[in-house]
C-alpha cells in the first residue's frame, strides 16, 4: 500500500478526496433550526430532526445523522415560525366600500413530509399559500361593513380568517398561527372622495334622526306637563279665581316679552299706557 502511494501520489490524493467527500456526505450535520426530508431516488423515506409540538428547538434530534451517499438527498425545511405576505388587493365590503388591504400570515411547517409531497420546497409552499391567504381575507372582509374594521370586532374577523386558512394549510403540513392586517386604505382619487361623501351623508342623516327623535320626545313631555298643569290650574280656579287670573297674566307676559320656550319672541316694540288693563299686574293692584 505504501509503495502504491509512493508510485501514484496524484491518484492517491484524488481517491482520498473522493473518500473524504463520501464520508462527509454520509454523516450530515442537522442544524437545530432545521428539519430534513431524506429523499431516495425521488421518494421521501424519512424525516430528520422532525418538529414536535411542545418540544423546544434545540432538543434531541439535531446533530450528526446519516444517509446513503449519492442515493439519498436532503431537503431542508425550517422549523421556526415563518410568514407570508398577501399581495395588496381590493376588497368590497358589504356597504360597498372599496378597500385596498395588505395582510400577512405567520405559520409553521409541522408535517415536513406532507409539505414535501404537496409543495416540494419552502419557496413553492409560499407561492401556493399567498393566493389562498388573499382569497380568505377577501371572502371574510367582504362579509362585513367598513366601520367594523375600525372597531375591536376586527380581531374576531381575523381569527375567523386564520381558522379558514388553517383548514386549507393543513393539507400542506402547515399550521397557521396568526393572520393580521397591516394596512387598510380607501382607493385614492374619486373613490376616496365618494367614500368620504357617503360617510358624511350617513352621519348627517343619523344626526337629523337623533334631533327629530329628541324633538318628538320633548313635545310629548311638554304636552304631558301642560296637561298636568292645566288640571292643576283648573282645580285652583274654583278655589282662588284671583290667583288664576294672576297666573294667566304671567303666562301672557312671558309669551309676549320672552317667548314660548320654543321660538324666540319677535323683535316687536309695544307701547302701552301704564294704566292699561293688560299691564295691571305691574301696577300692584287690579282695576
Asked if 109 contacts 173 with a C-beta cutoff of 8 angstroms, the reply is yes
Contacts of residue 164, defined as CB under 8 A and 6 or more positions apart, other chains included, come to: 136, 139, 140
Q: How confident is the model at residue 110 (pLDDT cuts 50, 70, 90)?
A: very high
CA distances from 3 to 15, 20, 102 (A): 16, 21, 72
Tell me, what DSSP letter sits at residue 258? I
Cα 8 to chain center, whole Å? Answer: 73
How high does pLDDT run on average in the chain? Answer: 79
* pTM > 0.85: yes or no: no
Tell me, what DSSP letter sits at residue 155? H
Residue 14 has what pLDDT?
77
| Average of per-residue pLDDT across 81-98 | 81
Q: Which of 53-57, 89-93, 97-101, 162-166 has the highest mean pLDDT?
A: 162-166
Q: Is the pLDDT of residue 286 over 80?
A: no
Q: How confident is the model at residue 219 (pLDDT cuts 50, 70, 90)?
A: confident
Q: What is the per-residue pLDDT across 169-213, written as a single tens digit (0 to 9) for each?
A: 999 999 999 988 887 776 665 555 666 677 788 888 888 899 889
The answer to which of 18-22, 34-38, 176-180, 198-202 has the lowest mean pLDDT is: 18-22
Q: How confident is the model at residue 4 (pLDDT cuts 50, 70, 90)?
A: low
The answer to which of 123-132, 150-159, 214-223, 274-283 has the lowest mean pLDDT is: 274-283
Count CB neighbours of 164 within 10 A: 19
Name the region of 46 (left: φ>0; alpha: ψ -120 to 50; beta: rest): beta
Residue 224 has what pLDDT?
87
Count CB neighbours of 232 within 10 A: 10
- N residues, the chain: 287
Q: Which of 64-68, 204-208, 239-243, 269-273 has the highest mean pLDDT?
A: 204-208
Residue 174 has what pLDDT?
94
Counting Cα atoms < 13 Å in the Cβ hemisphere of 120 gives 5
Amino acid at each position: 500500500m505504501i509503495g502504491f502511494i509512493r508510485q501514484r501520489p496524484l491518484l492517491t490524493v484524488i481517491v482520498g478526496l473522493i473518500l473524504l467527500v463520501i464520508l462527509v456526505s454520509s454523516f450530515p450535520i442537522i442544524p437545530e433550526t432545521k428539519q430534513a426530508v431524506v429523499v431516495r431516488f425521488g421518494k421521501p423515506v424519512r424525516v430528520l430532526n422532525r418538529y414536535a409540538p411542545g418540544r423546544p428547538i434545540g432538543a434531541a434530534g439535531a446533530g450528526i445523522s446519516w444517509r446513503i451517499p449519492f442515493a439519498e438527498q436532503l431537503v431542508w425545511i425550517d422549523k421556526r415560525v415563518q410568514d407570508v405576505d398577501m399581495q395588496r388587493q381590493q376588497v368590497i365590503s358589504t356597504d360597498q366600500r372599496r378597500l385596498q388591504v395588505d395582510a400577512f400570515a405567520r405559520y409553521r411547517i409541522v408535517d415536513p413530509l406532507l409539505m414535501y409531497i404537496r409543495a416540494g420546497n419552502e419557496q413553492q409552499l409560499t407561492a401556493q399559500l399567498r393566493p389562498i391567504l388573499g382569497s380568505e381575507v377577501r371572502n371574510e372582509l367582504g362579509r362585513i361593513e367598513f366601520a367594523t374594521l375600525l372597531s375591536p370586532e376586527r380581531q374576531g374577523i381575523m381569527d375567523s380568517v386564520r381558522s379558514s386558512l388553517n383548514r386549507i394549510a393543513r393539507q400542506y403540513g402547515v399550521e397557521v398561527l396568526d393572520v393580521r392586517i397591516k394596512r387598510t386604505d380607501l382607493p385614492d382619487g374619486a373613490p376616496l372622495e365618494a367614500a368620504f361623501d357617503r360617510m358624511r351623508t350617513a352621519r348627517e342623516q343619523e344626526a337629523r334622526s337623533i334631533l327629530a327623535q329628541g324633538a318628538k320626545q320633548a313635545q310629548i313631555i311638554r304636552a304631558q306637563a301642560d296637561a298636568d298643569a292645566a288640571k292643576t290650574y283648573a282645580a285652583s280656579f274654583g278655589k282662588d279665581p284671583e290667583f288664576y287670573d294672576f297666573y294667566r297674566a304671567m303666562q301672557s307676559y312671558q309669551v309676549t316679552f320672552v317667548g314660548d320656550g320654543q321660538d324666540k319672541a319677535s323683535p316687536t316694540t309695544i307701547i302701552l299706557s301704564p294704566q292699561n288693563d293688560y299691564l295691571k299686574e305691574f301696577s300692584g293692584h287690579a282695576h
